[in-house]
Structures are given as structure tokens and as C-alpha cells.
């Protein structure tokens, strides 16, 4: 009986710790290649983006290489900040896709997964969101 209690505690701790990990910010500063393009790789999965905080320079082209962890649940990546030149929507697959844009305004702009199944919480609510921080 005592063992079952311990097991339940372990399960509860893993669930709490697991979801805390999902929400943990992980910041990446884009690397600029020899052509002056800022490159960032992003992986989406249930229910996270890694990294979920991307730092890019203003008025410099960005190429995001986006892909999805393996699994059946569909994910996408969406940004809707046309005022800053950051507007895209792409379905994620395990084959990486490249999204190109050029941020035109300093600030912090959200990106997220727009998927939602029936009455369940949206993927965004479950943690599939992040920010693009545009710096001078």
C-alpha cells in the first residue's frame, strides 16, 4: 500500500515537472551567415516550440527552418504582425521548411500553433507559442 502512495507521488512530480519544462523559456539569438541572412532552426511538437524566444536584428533578412517532431498530431506555425514585416503561416512536417521574412520594426511579436481539436484547449493554450524579439 505504501508503495502505491510513493508511485503516485512520483507520477504527480513528473507531471508537474514535465509541464514546467514545456513552459521554460529557451532563448536563441539568430546566427548571421556570410550572405547576411539570420538563420534559426525551430522544432514544434506537443506542445512546445524549441526555441520559443528568438532574437533577430531589425531590417535584416531572416530564414526560419521549421520542422515538427515525429508523431501524428498536426502542428503549424503562425505569426500575424504585418506591421513589423512578420507574417507567415506554415504547416509543420518532419521535413524542414524554410520561412523567409524581414523584420522592419523593433519590438516583441508572438508566434504560435493555430491547431485545436474540437472542444479541447488550443495548442497555443497548451504551450505552443513563442516570441520573436526584434532588436536594433
* Interface residues toward Cu ion, by CB under 5 A: 75, 113, 115, 123, 128
117-128 burial string, b = 16+ CB within 10 Å, else e? Answer: eeeeeebbebbb
Residue placing its CB nearer to Cu ion in the complex, 54 or 115: 115
Report, in Å, the least distance between residue 91 CB and Cu ion: 10
Report, in Å, the least distance between residue 44 CB and Cu ion: 6
Residue placing its CB nearer to Cu ion in the complex, 54 or 113: 113
- Helix, strand or coil for residue 115? coil
Residue placing its CB nearer to Cu ion in the complex, 30 or 128: 128
β partners of residue 40: 64
Report, in Å, the least distance between residue 65 CB and Cu ion: 18
Q: Under 8 Å CB-to-CB from 20, ≥6 apart: which residues?
A: none
Amino acid at each position: 500500500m505504501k508503495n502505491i502512495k510513493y508511485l503516485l507521488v512520483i507520477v504527480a512530480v513528473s507531471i508537474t515537472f514535465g509541464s514546467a519544462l514545456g513552459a521554460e523559456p529557451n532563448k536563441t539569438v539568430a546566427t548571421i551567415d556570410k550572405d547576411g541572412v539570420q538563420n534559426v532552426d525551430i522544432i514544434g511538437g506537443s506542445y512546445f516550440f524549441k526555441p520559443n524566444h528568438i532574437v533577430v536584428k531589425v531590417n535584416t533578412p531572416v530564414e526560419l527552418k521549421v520542422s515538427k517532431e515525429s508523431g501524428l498530431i498536426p502542428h503549424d506555425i503562425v505569426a500575424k504582425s504585418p506591421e513589423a514585416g512578420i507574417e507567415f503561416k506554415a504547416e509543420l512536417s518532419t521535413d524542414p521548411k524554410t520561412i523567409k521574412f524581414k523584420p522592419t520594426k523593433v519590438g516583441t511579436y508572438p508566434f504560435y500553433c493555430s491547431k485545436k481539436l474540437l472542444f479541447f484547449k488550443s495548442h497555443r493554450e497548451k504551450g505552443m507559442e513563442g516570441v520573436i524579439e526584434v532588436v536594433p
